[in-house]
Structure 1
Amino acid sequence: MATEQLNEAVDESSEAVVRIDGVTKEYGTLRAVDDVSIPIEEGEFITILGPSGAGKTTLLHLIAGFERPTAGEIYIDDQPVSNEPPYERDIGLVFQSHALFPHMTVGENIAFPLKMRRQNPGDIDRKVEEVLELVRLPIDYADKPVDELSGGQQQRVAFARAIVYEPTLLLLDEPLSSLDKKLREEMRAELTRIHEETELTIVHVTHNQTEALSMADRIALIRDGRLEQFDSAQDIYAAPETPFAADFIGNTTLLYGTVTDRTGGTATVSIADGTVQVPAAAVGDASDVVVALRAEQVALSGDHDNAYAATIEQVSFEGDQTQYHVHVPAFETTVRLVDQRTDTQVLYERGADVTVGWDVDDVFVYPDDEPDAARD
């Protein structure tokens, strides 16, 4: 979605509880966040996704009030807050490190923000019990020291403390990245459940594509401080707008070539010593293009519109699927593919000669308007 369209969405979104409006953050000559606009609706789960150094954590810190924008404005409930300190913004925050108080019990950690707001002691006890039930920790855990809890239990306490006072906005700074794979998957499901039950407005930062796709209503994909695409999780996967979006969201191979023929509904793209048939409508008037090929669209079969001799370079058996890296001499490059045929699966060994293929409509095509240096 173009910046102009996003700015219009910000202006027209009357239900936005948070509006990031043309925000830029500079550190000397470094522009960490570059003219970003995102409207966030009440009850929505937004994920800010991008590689390391993209500016996503800086953007979260701007929303939280730990940083002030160089330009632009941030609104919460239609009020400008860029000059307001964090404690005036009615936000909850969960850090990657949990940031629990080690000298306090579970209950004391959860109650801390309520006591800072000078709430009635009776109300505090009740709310602590309610939020423990919400995050599925036994009530008697309130008396446990936090350092006696497992990593997953500490994460639940961190969530409980952040939401116990019912903030307008909950910010999550890569909260699951320190957990092991199984626990991360469990907590991902729990966080989705908590969001559904509380209808909190959540902004979540991660570099993990699976987390973003599985939890977010919409994803803001950030690259070099700029907003690359802002769409629903389904649309950003099914219809990536740029080569970077196609490459970052999913397991994708990018092939760079030149259009040499257009016949009917199909265009021919020359890549090294080979050619690829792609939809002519996707090519448009471009001469140099990027062909993006998702790993799950590549088959170990020659019965397709595009078929090529290849050699297995790398094999990764993962139980329910096998990932391959295959060298395709025609393209002088390696193509990634995923074989999900678990019932009749043949596990090829490294060095095996195979045929790989895909159909015309199984690719994304973009004009190649980016300098070579920007691809590295």
Structure 2
Amino acid sequence: MTRDAFPRLPGYDELPADVKDVEIAATARYGLRLFLERVASPDAGPGDYEYFRERAAQRADEGMPLHLLLGTHCVGTHELWRALRDVTLPGEEAALAELSDYLFAAQERIVAAVTETYLDEQAAIVAERREERRSLARALLEGVGGGTGVEAFEEGALVVFVCLPVAVRDERSVAVRRLVRRLQAAFDRVFGVGVPALLGGAGGHAVVPGRDVVEVPGELGAALREFCGPGVRLAAAVADSVGGIPEAARTAEEIVRVARACGRPPGPHRLDDVLLEYHLSRPSAGSERIAALLEPLAGRPELVETLRAHLELRQDRRATGRRLGLHPNTVDNRIARVSSLTGLDLASAHGTALALAALLLREAEETAADDA
């Protein structure tokens, strides 16, 4: 079988010689003995398939394709049946039929046992590798030092933050596990490597190794929108070394927060797109007093929403009206009300800058409160 029959299977010749000549041959011999014992003692039961399970787990661990593993069992069964057929004499057809029943019933049970064990082992291997990558991502993002795989990031990395439009909080749910698998697959496919990531129902971070990767490919944004919806946001920051990864992660997350607070539409965000707003949102000695300028708008979300859109759209009353579904005169009335309540002159560059800074700082406070 191992010399003449199995080589017909695609990929069999590429296996190591010891696997073919020793281990697979031993499995075939065990199968033959099991069949002969079944014929000799028909009432003894189907036999012990634990040996096949052990070999299946070993083949899965070695990466042997399942179709090739099952192919050896099916071809082996066929070869044994041909041998029985070739020695069957006239008048012995009933005996051949009885032996065939034993043979194919055993094949069905063996294939089921092998498939179940192989898939279980593969699932365990995938889960182990996934957890290894999550552990690596956690170590990199928290800056806790060395570990297996860290050397790939010594020359730098691109840290990507993804914020999903609808956060699923139950991290153990099937929906979240499926979403995380698809997110991880998108990162791996787009960047061409296994990307360590900490992802969940609200999104998360991924750390792409290499100093040559400096921005997020458009293909990634398209892939994420495909299965996360059009509301997905993402941003990236470059780390020059392993030690810079935690700060890059915070920067990427902050870019998304600022872009959302400014009313920018979902999608990929770059620091250059929100450079002024990013600077204005940095905490300083006067941050609390600036944020307090909008305190009179508490309980008036429609005014805050109008102010945010008005500033984002360069104070274009018609564009603001279109975005919010309002008449331009309503926009004017709301902006006038904001000025009246806060005392900010939104017609001046100084008043506009203060309003923008106040919006960003209040957004930062609210985000910090939610995280706490």
Q: Tell me, yes or no, whether TM beats 0.5.
A: no
Which TM-score bucket, shorter chain as reference?
under 0.3
> Which protein has the larger Cα radius of gyration, Structure 1 or Structure 2?
2
Structure with the larger strand share: 1
Task: Tell me: higher relative CO, structure 1 or 2? Use CA pairs within 8 A at least 6 residues apart.
Answer: 1
Structure-1-length-normalised TM-score: 0.26
Structure with the larger helix share: 2
